[in-house]
Amino acid sequence: ITNKAQQKWNDSYDNLNWKKIFLSPITCTIYSRLRLFQYKYLYRIIPTNKFLHKCHFVNSSLCQFCNIHVETVQHLFWDCAHVQHFWTKTNDFLSQNGINVAFNFKNISLGIHDDNTKQKTIINFVIFLAKYFIFKCKMQSDIPCFDNYFRYLKECKNIEQILAQARSKLETHNRKWHSIKFE
């Protein structure tokens, strides 16, 4: 049984494994806020300016970042030139750490679920946190900047490490983060 949001995703992409898609926020992060954000994203209930303008909450339906195109989910998280630059920098960071992933709208929306991808837990964490960061930037009227995201990612890693240590799950934490270097 699929809901309307799943059906819209299914209309765009073939052979989606919804069990893996819905489990990935749980397996890649302990942050309930990040999990909730990803589920809202999957259910297509992220408030964009297109929707907020329709409800008369904002004065314009244009993108918060470029102020040129209508702000849809796809534009806000993928098509916007500012966001494309941010994703390029994020991809460069992962590549520098030996993680090669093809960023496209499907992967940043639904995550990486290919069983041949050994580092999918950290990749999905980076992607989901990046989307959350983009949304936080939108809410603060700031252009997403990779340097700020990098600091945020590092902070989240350190918090996860403290929590993992307290829960005697440091080995799991280290397995997740072993390929990411913050130099």
**Three-state DSSP state, 62:** strand
Site of tokens 């829960």: 167
Per-residue pLDDT of the chain (183 residues; tens, 9 = 90+): 568 999 999 999 999 999 999 999 999 999 999 999 999 999 999 999 999 999 999 999 999 999 999 999 999 999 999 999 999 999 999 999 999 999 999 999 999 988 766 799 999 999 999 999 999 999 999 999 999 999 999 999 999 999 999 999 999 999 999 999 987
Site of tokens 């993992």: 164
pTM metric for this prediction:
0.95
* Count of Cβ atoms closer than 10 Å to residue 7 Cβ: 10
Site of tokens 């909730």: 36
Per the CB < 8 A criterion, the answer to whether 16 and 10 are in contact is: yes
